[in-house]
């Protein structure tokens, strides 16, 4: 009985938090907020179309740790590490774009727009610019007050479908949501390190992964070889070998023809639970768009801070200075 009550209370809290978010949250406090973010993203996209992948990754890595609270943006200090120090976040980029948007917003309306909302809005705008669905997102998130490297536990590229789904299920996302969100790899890149074993020595066999197209394995081997190197010098390849900068359904088509580069991507087309979803997206480009929009909206609402929780950072890279309290005797 106590367990059921606890679950009901948790559901109430989550629903209450989502209800605090709304489309047009800044319509009165900062009417040009979304336009300002969009202009910054448009300017960057005009010279760097890979920013879509960067923002999608940042958004996912932020929301899957402590929720969508911009904790990923906090810089580490000499005395305190942050989420940026975690291995999976070593190659996250796009922080300078968030800084630029925040600077413009602080000039227009100081201390009104959260860094968490900037990430969400910028990602939405980048997806639209890359040919993906255009959708509305609710705003009103607050920025978190904690950023610990120990909290970072993200699904890796070599997981099975059931293993990966445990991460998504813990965030109240469905199997369909998982397959859809991994479709963000349609504009993604990967270092050779994350699929090296698939092209040279899969599971100690001395041969490539049999679930990978031999021609693709041979091409990747020419790029990656067998050498182990630091990420800074590790070659990168596009996860979608056809429309690498376009948010579309071609990623799913490639997995059907054994051309998924990451093991988890290929497994989506092979696992009985996810294969029908992949085939649906691959055979018809129409369903992917609205499914992707809906999944991104759900992602952006994970464990958000609203109301008086958290803060609105002045600088997205550091917490606001703590106010000193006067002790009363």
Out of 124, 154, 184, pick the residue that ends a domain: 154
The answer to whether 120 is a known ligand-binding residue is no
Q: Which two structure tokens, joined as six digits, stand for 303?
A: 């464990």
Q: One of 57, 61, 301, 313 is an active-site residue; which one?
A: 61
The answer to whether 40 is a known ligand-binding residue is no
Distance CA 107, CA 147 (A): 26
Residues 178 and 267 in one domain: yes
pTM score above 0.85:
yes
Residues 36 and 141 in one domain: yes
- In a domain, residue 325? The reply is no
What's the CATH code of the domain at 173? 1.10.420.10
Whether residue 169 contacts residue 159, with contact meaning beta carbons closer than 8 Å, is answered with: no
61 is catalytic: yes
The residues facing 186 across adjacent strands are none
What's the CATH code of the domain at 43? 1.10.520.10
Residues 222 and 290 in one domain: yes
Number of domains, the chain: 2
- In a domain, residue 312? The reply is no
- In a domain, residue 329? The reply is no
The domain of 50 spans 2-154
The answer to whether 191 is a known ligand-binding residue is no
The answer to whether 75 is a known ligand-binding residue is no
Q: Which tens digits make up the pLDDT trace of 276-313?
A: 999 999 998 899 999 999 999 999 999 999 999 999 99
Confidence at residue 324, expressed as pLDDT on a 0 to 100 scale: 62
Q: Which tens digits make up the pLDDT trace of 120-157?
A: 999 999 999 999 999 999 999 999 999 999 999 999 99
Percent of the chain past pLDDT 90, that is, above it, reads 86
- In a domain, residue 167? The reply is yes
Encode burial over 87-119: b for 16+ CB neighbours within 10 A, e otherwise: ebbebbebbebbbbbbebbbeebeebbbbbbbb
Residues 138 and 180 in one domain: no
Residues 207 and 264 in one domain: yes
Residues 170 and 235 in one domain: yes
Out of 112, 137, 154, pick the residue that ends a domain: 154
Residues 8 and 33 in one domain: yes
Mean pLDDT of the chain: 92
Residues 6 and 147 in one domain: yes
- In a domain, residue 323? The reply is no
Residues 252 and 200 in one domain: yes
The answer to whether 67 is a known ligand-binding residue is yes
Q: What is the mean pLDDT of residues 262-280?
A: 98
The answer to whether 65 is a known ligand-binding residue is yes
Q: Which two structure tokens, joined as six digits, stand for 325?
A: 């309290």
Residues 118 and 165 in one domain: no
The answer to whether 133 is a known ligand-binding residue is no
């Amino acid at each position: 009985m106590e367990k059921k009550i606890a679950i009901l209370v948790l559901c109430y809290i989550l629903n209450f938090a989502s209800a605090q978010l709304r489309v047009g949250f800044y319509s009165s406090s900062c009417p040009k907020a979304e336009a300002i973010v969009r202009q910054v993203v448009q300017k960057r996209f005009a010279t760097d179309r890979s920013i879509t992948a960067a923002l999608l990754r940042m958004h996912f890595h932020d929301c899957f740790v402590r929720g969508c609270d911009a904790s990923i943006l906090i810089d580490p200090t000499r005395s305190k590490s942050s989420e940026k120090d975690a291995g999976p976040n070593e190659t996250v980029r796009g922080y300078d774009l968030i800084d630029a948007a925040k600077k413009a917003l602080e000039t227009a309306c100081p201390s009104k727009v959260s860094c968490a909302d900037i990430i969400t809005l910028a990602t939405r705008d980048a997806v639209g610019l890359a040919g993906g669905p255009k959708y509305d997102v609710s705003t009103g998130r607050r920025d978190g007050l904690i950023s610990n490297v120990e909290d970072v536990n993200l699904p890796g590229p070599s997981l099975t479908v059931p293993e990966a789904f445990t991460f998504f299920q813990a965030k109240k996302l469905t199997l369909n949501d998982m397959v859809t969100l991994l479709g963000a790899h349609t504009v993604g890149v990967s270092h050779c390190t994350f699929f090296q074993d698939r092209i040279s020595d899969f599971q100690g066999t001395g041969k490539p992964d049999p679930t990978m197209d031999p021609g693709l394995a041979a091409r990747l081997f020419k790029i990656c070889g067998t050498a182990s190197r630091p990420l800074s010098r590790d070659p990168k390849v596009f996860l979608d070998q056809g429309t690498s900068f376009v948010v579309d359904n071609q990623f799913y088509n490639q997995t059907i023809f054994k051309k998924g580069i990451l093991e988890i991507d290929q497994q989506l087309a092979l696992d009985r639970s996810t294969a029908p979803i992949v085939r649906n997206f691959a055979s018809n480009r129409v369903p992917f768009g609205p499914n992707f929009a809906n999944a991104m909206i759900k992602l952006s609402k994970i464990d958000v801070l609203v109301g008086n929780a958290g803060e609105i950072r002045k600088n997205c890279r550091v917490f606001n200075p703590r106010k000193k309290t006067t002790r009363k005797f």
